[in-house]
Amino acid sequence: MNSNKIKDFLFSVGEPIYRFNQIENAIYKDFTTDFKKIKNLPISLREKLSDNFRIISFDAINILTSTKGDSHKAVLKLKDGRLIETAALSRGMLKWSICVSTQAGCPVRCAFCYSGRKGLKRNLSAEEIADQVLFWGAWLKEKSLGEISSIVYMGMGEPFLNYENTVESVKIINNKIGIGKRHISVSTCGHVPNIRQFARDLPQVNLAISLHSAIDEIRDKLVPLNVKYPLDQLSKAIRDYIDCSKRKIFIEYIMLDNVNDRSRDARKLLEWIKMTHQKKYFTVNLIPYNETGKNFKPSPMEKIEKFHKHMTLAGVETTIRKSLGSDIKGACGQLALGN
């Protein structure tokens, strides 16, 4: 929802300021998505608002639920017809983590990722990003499935290539919807200047780095932004980030068979972490790969476990991420961009 436009409109029709607070409370706290259902507004104002504005800036054209019911994925059609995705992932006990997109498509074109295949279509506005949270808040409430406990910026797009709108959307989600900064995580594949900027702008928000390899020749191919910002530059930026924010970094590492899952890869990752900062500042998340094409195979679980053991024995906190939603095309971009 574009709050500024609503505020200007209320002012132009001579409504008192408390009407704006009533509207914001209904939308951001109660997840009301229809002006006509905001009961404490006069009927005539409800009608004027619904004639002139939309609360959610897109339409959900498809919502899929995994067989286990632990993840839901929606394809959203933006005003200009572009398609994006968003997901709700169960954290147990009726709590949900919402995965949001920041761009329609993605310019980075990571080799294993669906979202990057067709390049960037456009950046999302801060409103379009935050509306994904409103959308799920309303949907979970309607289905009595529980409530939102955290937000991850890990959907379509590279958040740090749409930096200002990403930061603005975090502020909306935090200040208006009320999700704590420490329950919001933004993931970047390594945009060095904005890693430093992020430490200054939002030091309490979690930062995840989609690393996937600590060997430049491999990472250049997997994550092409590495050619511009190679691993030594990324390491220095992360050191500065930690020194400035005193926060832990989450390293995302997708496990690809015989590409980045060997003992040498684990050794290099360890060396890169040690070169960057003290081990206590890192948590490595090993992510089983959701197969999306012919180029890569998922690492067998024995290899993931061996990699996990290598890292943990060396004193780096490491987890193996539970794979959710593979039966609803769990990999980012798969639903919106088709097969």
Catalytic residues, by residue number, are 85, 332
Stretch that binds ligand SF4, among 31-39, 101-109, 193-201, 264-272 (CB under 6 A): 101-109
CA dist 246 → 23, 277, 311 (Å): 38, 11, 22
Residue 64: exposure state from Cβ atoms within 10 A (0-12, 13-18, ≥19): middle
Stretch that binds ligand SF4, among 106-114, 173-181, 265-273, 302-310 (CB under 6 A): 106-114
Name beta bridge partners: 148.
Answer: 96
Q: Decide: is 157 part of the binding site for ligand SF4 (CB under 6 A).
A: yes
Give the strands of the sheet with 184-188, arranged side by side. 58-65, 71-78, 83-90, 95-99, 147-153, 184-188, 206-210, 249-255, 282-288, 317-320
Closest approach of ligand SF4 to the CB of residue 223, in Å: 6
Closest approach of ligand SF4 to the CB of residue 278, in Å: 27
Residue 147 CA to residue 91 CA, distance in Å, equals 10
Q: Which is nearer to ligand SF4, 110 or 237 (CB)?
A: 110
Q: How many residues bind ligand SF4 (CB under 6 A)?
A: 13
Q: Decide: is 118 part of the binding site for ligand SF4 (CB under 6 A).
A: no
- Crossing angle of helices 43-52 and 3-12, rounded to 10°: 130
SS (H, E, C) 85-123: EEEEEECCCCEEEEECCCEEECCCCCCCCCCCCCCEEEE
Residue 238 CA to residue 19 CA, distance in Å, equals 45
Among 130, 189, 214, 335, the residue binding ligand SF4 under the rule CB under 6 A is 189
Q: Helix, strand or coil for residue 319?
A: strand
Closest approach of ligand SF4 to the CB of residue 144, in Å: 32
Instruction: Give the nearest residue (CB) to ligand SF4.
Output: 116
CA dist 146 → 88, 143, 183, 256 (Å): 11, 8, 16, 34
Q: Decide: is 116 part of the binding site for ligand SF4 (CB under 6 A).
A: yes
Closest approach of ligand SF4 to the CB of residue 333, in Å: 7
Stretch that binds ligand SF4, among 23-31, 153-161, 165-173, 256-264 (CB under 6 A): 153-161
Among 113, 208, 287, 304, the residue binding ligand SF4 under the rule CB under 6 A is 113
Q: Give percent helix, percent strand, percent coil of the chain, each to the nearest 5.
A: 40, 20, 35
Binding mask 193-232 for ligand SF4 (x = CB under 6 A): -----------------x----------------------
Tokens matching residue 122: 């456009």
Residue 268 CA to residue 85 CA, distance in Å, equals 34
Stretch that binds ligand SF4, among 68-76, 102-110, 136-144, 315-323 (CB under 6 A): 102-110
Residue 224 CA to residue 221 CA, distance in Å, equals 6
Q: How many whole angstroms from its chain centre is CA 54?
A: 24
Q: Which is nearer to ligand SF4, 270 or 337 (CB)?
A: 337
Q: Which is nearer to ligand SF4, 137 or 157 (CB)?
A: 157
Q: Decide: is 108 part of the binding site for ligand SF4 (CB under 6 A).
A: yes
Q: Which is nearer to ligand SF4, 133 or 208 (CB)?
A: 208
Among 15, 85, 158, 252, the residue binding ligand SF4 under the rule CB under 6 A is 158
Q: Decide: is 109 part of the binding site for ligand SF4 (CB under 6 A).
A: yes
Q: Decide: is 74 part of the binding site for ligand SF4 (CB under 6 A).
A: no
Q: Decide: is 84 part of the binding site for ligand SF4 (CB under 6 A).
A: no
Q: Decide: is 159 part of the binding site for ligand SF4 (CB under 6 A).
A: no
Q: Encode burial over 105-141: b for 16+ CB neighbours within 10 A, e otherwise.
A: bbbbbbbbbbbbbeebbebbbbbbbbbbbbbbbbbbb
Interface positions with ligand SF4 (CB under 6 A): 106, 108-110, 113, 115-116, 156-158, 189, 210, 332
